[in-house]
């Protein structure tokens, strides 16, 4: 472990300096509806106490869902939590109509390839995370959790992660496989969302699902301790409750130095939440993500929400219960109108249900795909990104890592999640630099979540290139005679493939450029294996038990491939690294 931590501290991949080029073919499907967040000036409220700093705000009750959306879980009573998931109704459905309709394929929503490309994780998702375990803490039982996860992973060609191999473990809040708690159809959707998002971002990670006996803060807290005790270094919590007197009695459940405890900020708009308000955790806000170019990026993000008080949107604000940690003393927080205490949030990711993610669930929906959002979607995305970055340093709080290198984020500069005092408008309005709704921004690779900005060594290598060749643009050549860096052309180093292609070792031992893929996007005679297209599939892996397994055949030209169903592959991606000692400037 000490050697690994030293690697995290001192190694930096050269490729982390290169931006990931995003292509127009990245989204699995285009969401049926796209929310447009408009920047509205914050109006004044009597939330400022004192002359120079905001010292807290009253937590909001659950905001109403829009006419086209519904919350998955009911509003909680004091001392209890709600899951922070919101699902999109089928287009044209009445508010009292069933929220889901049976569908053999995702009815909108982003899949793994789109999410990875949006957050510059395309290559890291392929080569990192093999030895990491991400825990999910939720309430109650989802009887179909393993089956639904298998369907999602099979559809997106992520390889299997069964309970029989140890890749997926499901335990109760005491760490035992039996008895599991009573079932809940609402929390089952939440668990499906969490499992799917961890798999989308870190398909090589093992997953530990800890099902609490109830959604009380005490039960969820005991489940939190169990997740860490069983070896998870990254814990995703897609639920929250309001700040309230007496909450400090449960704070110890979330104080785990050396582990990334990641918590949803809530879906009720401008308001603080628990335990996201704690200094021990990474508080995750939400955005609306659209596949529309913004500057050099092929994606656009705005803070999720509106200026209407009590409306649905990402949580944010100034805690009334928790002191500000030293690492969060940003300029915005120490001036006039700044928050003198803990500020939510630290980071963010896609959460708007109108631009949400594809989720497969059968227990509530009887076998259907759904378009789901909420900060419950953003939270496992961030937790899985932490896992791709590598183990946190012992006795450290990973929430502090993001403030060591704020330039490694996609800065979100527009959108609001409610109304807040004009003097402290950054608490509810996205802007350049740090703000409450989106924190420092959304992931842009893994370096932002590694200690001191160092990127840990991958299992394989790191892609570099100029991003000039999009997936499926016709610049493919099974014979290896296409434009340099395009699909199927030979390569000998990481800088010879145009993004999103990477240099991978084929079965014959030679190396070729191969791109990321979702079902149906590989060119003829290519296979989609572990999310990448290959004409000559690489060698099978002989890795440890528990590693995900299962290759795939894309729908174009590879249905009869003898490599379909193969085990995990050793992707010999060539890496170029350099060692550079960094001074400690925390």
Three-class DSSP labels, 394-424: CCCCHHHHHHHCHHHEECCCCCECCCCCHHH
Domain-terminating residue out of 424, 450, 476: 450
Give the separation between CA 284 and CA 351, rounded to whole angstroms: 10
| 365 contacts 100 by C-beta, under 8 angstroms | yes
Q: What is the pLDDT of residue 63?
A: 52
455 in any annotated domain: no
Do 389 and 500 belong together in one domain? no
168: Cβ contacts below 8 Å, ≥ 6 apart: 146, 149, 161, 162, 195, 206, 207, 209
The total domain count for the chain is 2
Do 24 and 50 belong together in one domain? no
Do 272 and 152 belong together in one domain? yes
456 in any annotated domain: no
State the average pLDDT over residues 260-273. 96
Q: What is the pLDDT of residue 268?
A: 93
513 in any annotated domain: yes
The mean-pLDDT minimum among 33-37, 65-69, 397-401, 402-406 falls in 33-37
State the average pLDDT over residues 172-176. 97
| CATH code for position 366 | 3.40.50.200
133-139 and 268-270 strand pairing: unpaired
Do 19 and 52 belong together in one domain? no
Q: What is the pLDDT of residues 81-104, one digit of tens each?
A: 999 999 877 665 555 444 555 556
Do 129 and 101 belong together in one domain? yes
Give the separation between CA 555 and CA 285, rounded to whole angstroms: 36
Give the separation between CA 74 and CA 289, rounded to whole angstroms: 26
336 in any annotated domain: yes
Q: What is the pLDDT of residues 101-155, one digit of tens each?
A: 555 667 678 999 999 999 999 999 999 999 999 999 999 999 999 999 999 999 9
Look at residue 384 and tell me whether its pLDDT is greater than 80. Answer: yes
Q: Max Cα separation, the chain?
A: 72
Do 337 and 278 belong together in one domain? yes
Look at residue 333 and tell me whether its pLDDT is greater than 80. Answer: no
Look at residue 467 and tell me whether its pLDDT is greater than 90. Answer: no
**Percent of the chain clearing pLDDT 90 (strictly above):** 51
Look at residue 223 and tell me whether its pLDDT is greater than 70. Answer: yes
The distance in angstroms from the start CA to the end CA of the chain is: 22
Q: What is the pLDDT of residue 431?
A: 94
Q: What is the pTM of this model?
A: 0.70
Give the separation between CA 130 and CA 530, rounded to whole angstroms: 13
Do 390 and 520 belong together in one domain? no
Give the separation between CA 119 and CA 132, rounded to whole angstroms: 20
Do 20 and 105 belong together in one domain? no
462 pLDDT tier (thresholds 50, 70, 90): very low
Domain encompassing residue 516: 1-28+461-586
Q: Which residue has the higher pLDDT, 246 or 512?
A: 246
Structure tokens at 361: 């669930």
Do 275 and 405 belong together in one domain? yes
Look at residue 172 and tell me whether its pLDDT is greater than 70. Answer: yes
Q: What is the pLDDT of residues 424-458, one digit of tens each?
A: 999 999 999 999 999 999 999 998 777 654 444 45
Do 325 and 430 belong together in one domain? yes
- Residue 83 has phi, psi (to 5 degrees) of -70, 145
Cβ neighbourhood burial of 433 (10 Å; 0-12, 13-18, 19+):
middle
Give the separation between CA 320 and CA 15, rounded to whole angstroms: 42
Do 23 and 119 belong together in one domain? no
Write out 202-248 in H/E/C secondary structure: CCCCEEEEEEECCCEHHHHHHHHHHHHHCCCCEEEECEEECCCCCHH
Give the separation between CA 1 and CA 277, rounded to whole angstroms: 30
State the average pLDDT over residues 499-523. 56
Structure tokens at 317: 């604000």
Give the separation between CA 81 and CA 273, rounded to whole angstroms: 10
């Amino acid at each position: 472990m000490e050697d690994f931590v030293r690697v995290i501290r001192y190694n930096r991949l050269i490729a982390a300096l290169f931006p990931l080029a995003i292509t127009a073919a990245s989204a699995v499907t285009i969401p049926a509806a796209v929310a447009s967040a408009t920047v509205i000036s914050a109006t004044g409220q009597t939330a400022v106490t004192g002359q120079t700093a905001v010292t807290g705000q009253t937590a909001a009750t659950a905001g109403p869902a829009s006419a086209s959306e519904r919350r998955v879980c009911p509003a909680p009573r004091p001392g209890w939590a709600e899951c922070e998931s919101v699902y999109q109704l089928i287009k044209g459905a009445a508010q009292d109509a069933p929220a889901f309709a049976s569908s053999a394929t995702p009815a909108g929503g982003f899949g793994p390839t789109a999410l990875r490309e949006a957050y510059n994780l395309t290559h890291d998702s392929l080569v990192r995370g093999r030895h990491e375990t991400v825990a999910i803490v939720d309430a109650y039982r989802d009887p179909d959790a393993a089956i639904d996860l298998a369907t999602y992973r099979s559809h997106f060609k992520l390889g299997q992660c069964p309970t029989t191999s140890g890749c997926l473990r499901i335990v109760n809040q005491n760490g035992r496989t039996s008895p599991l708690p009573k079932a809940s159809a609402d929390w089952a959707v939440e668990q499906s969302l969490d499992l799917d998002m961890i798999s989308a971002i870190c398909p090589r990670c093992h997953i530990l699902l800890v099902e609490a006996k109830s959604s009380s803060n005490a039960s969820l807290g005991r489940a939190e301790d169990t997740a860490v005790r069983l070896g998870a270094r990254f814990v995703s919590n897609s639920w929250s409750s309001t700040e309230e007197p007496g909450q400090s009695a449960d704070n110890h459940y979330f104080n785990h130095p050396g582990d990334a405890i990641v918590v949803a900020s809530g879906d009720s708009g401008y308001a603080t939440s628990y335990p996201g308000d704690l200094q021990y955790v990474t508080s995750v806000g939400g955005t609306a993500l659209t596949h529309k170019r913004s500057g050099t990026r092929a994606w656009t993000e705005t803070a999720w929400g509106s200026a209407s008080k009590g409306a649905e949107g990402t949580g944010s604000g100034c805690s009334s219960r928790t002191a500000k940690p030293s690492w969060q003393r940003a300029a915005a927080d120490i001036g006039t109108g700044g928050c003198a205490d803990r500020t939510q949030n630290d980071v963010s990711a896609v959460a708007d249900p109108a631009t949400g993610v594809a989720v497969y669930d059968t227990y509530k929906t009887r076998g259907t795909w759904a378009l789901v959002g909420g900060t419950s979607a953003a939270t496992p995305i961030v937790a899985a990104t932490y896992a791709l970055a590598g183990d946190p340093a012992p006795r450290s709080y990973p929430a502090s890592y993001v403030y060591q290198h704020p330039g490694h984020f996609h800065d979100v500069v527009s959108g609001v999640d409610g109304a807040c005092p004009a003097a402290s408008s950054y608490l509810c309005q996205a802007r350049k630099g740090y703000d409450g709704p989106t924190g420092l921004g959304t992931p842009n690779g893994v370096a932002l979540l590694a200690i001191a900005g160092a990127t840990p060594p991958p299992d394989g290598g790191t892609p570099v290139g100029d991003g000039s060749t999009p997936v499926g643009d016709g610049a493919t050549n099974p014979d290896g005679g296409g434009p340099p860096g395009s699909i199927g052309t030979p390569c000998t180093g990481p800088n010879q493939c145009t993004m999103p292609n990477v240099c991978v070792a084929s079965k014959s031992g030679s190396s070729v450029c191969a791109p990321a893929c979702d079902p149906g996007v590989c060119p003829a005679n290519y296979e989609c294996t572990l999310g990448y297209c290959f004409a000559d599939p690489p060698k099978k892996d002989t890795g440890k038990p528990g590693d995900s397994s299962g290759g795939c055949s894309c729908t174009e030209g590879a249905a009869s491939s003898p490599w379909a169903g193969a085990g995990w592959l050793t992707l010999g991606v060539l890496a170029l690294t350099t060692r550079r000692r960094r001074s400690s400037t925390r």
